[in-house]
Amino acid sequence: MPLVKQGRIATDLFVHVADGAELPGDGAIFVPAARFLEDPEAFLKRAGKVGVIWPNNRDLDDLVPYLGRLAAVALVFPSFRDGRAYSQARLLRERHGFDGELRATGQVLRDQFVFMLRAGFDTFEVKKDSDAEAFASTAKSYSVFYQPTGDGRLTALHRRMLLRHSESAGQ
């Protein structure tokens, strides 16, 4: 499964550690939420980077205390129809100020890229090679946005207000 990071196909430096599997001595790892919460300190004091895979039906409150020391959070789309992780992503970025890697996992398809970028994801475990290859062009398919999110893109309303100000300043 190709990984897209910062807009291009990249090698995944994280190892996904399944429940019950032995931890690698060093290197970056992703661990499931339940396993992480059993003993967060044990993971956080490791030499390598730690990321947590957070299910989309679990409240973020349990994760928030550790966000500052996590390198990455992976959110899950069990199906592309299930949009709960969009809310989680925005909360992590916009409310809790998480600035590490925010990864979309599960059924991640081309036609969700723009929504995911807007919600704050910056890394994508893409289901199909062709979708991963089309990432850069797909990400540019929209230039107008109606809603403010934490991604910093100017909204249509904002652009209109700026236009009004510059027009009235020029008079």
Partner 1 sequence: MYAYDELDRTLINERVSEFRDQVKRRLSGELTEDEFKMLRLQNGVYLQLHAYMFRVAIPYGTLSSKQLRALARVGRRYDRGYGHFTTRQNIQFNWIKLAELPDALADLAEVGIHAMQTSGNNMRNVTSDQWAGVAPGEVEDPRIWSEILRQHTTLHPEFSFLPRKFKIAITASEHDRAAIKVHDIGLRLYKNAEGETGFEVLVGGGLGRTPFIGKTIKPFVHGRDILSYVEAILRVYNQYGRRDNIYKARIKILVHELGIEKFAREVDEEWKQMGDVGLTLDHSVIEEVRSRFSYPAYEKLPHMPDELKQAAHDPLFERWRRNSVFPHKVQGYSIVTLSLKPVGAPPGDATSDQMDAVADLADRYSFGEIRVGHEQNLCLPHVAKRDLPQLWKALDRIGLATPNVNLVTDIIACPGLDYCSLANARSIPIAQELTRRFANHDTAELIGRLHINISGCINACGHHHVGHIGILGVEKNGEEFYQITIGGRADEGAQMGTLIGPAIPYAEVADVIEDIVEAYLALRDRPEELFVDAVKRLGVEPFKERVYATR
Q: Which is nearer to partner 1, 69 or 128 (CB)?
A: 128
Please report the DSSP string for 83-127 in residue order: -HHHHHHHIIIIIS---SEEEEEES--GGGHHHHHHHT--EEE-S
Q: Which is nearer to partner 1, 35 or 127 (CB)?
A: 127
Which residues of this protein are in contact with partner 1, per CB under 8 A? 80-84, 86-88, 90, 94-95, 109, 111, 114-116, 118-119, 130, 141-149, 155-157, 159-161, 164
Q: Which of 56, 38, 17, 73 is nearest to 64 (CA)?
A: 73
SS3 state at 28: strand
DSSP state of 51: E
Q: Which of 55, 147, 62 is nearest to 96 (CA)?
A: 62
Nearest distance, CB of residue 162 and partner 1, angstroms: 11
Nearest distance, CB of residue 18 and partner 1, angstroms: 25
Nearest distance, CB of residue 25 and partner 1, angstroms: 38
Nearest distance, CB of residue 144 and partner 1, angstroms: 4
SS3 state at 130: helix
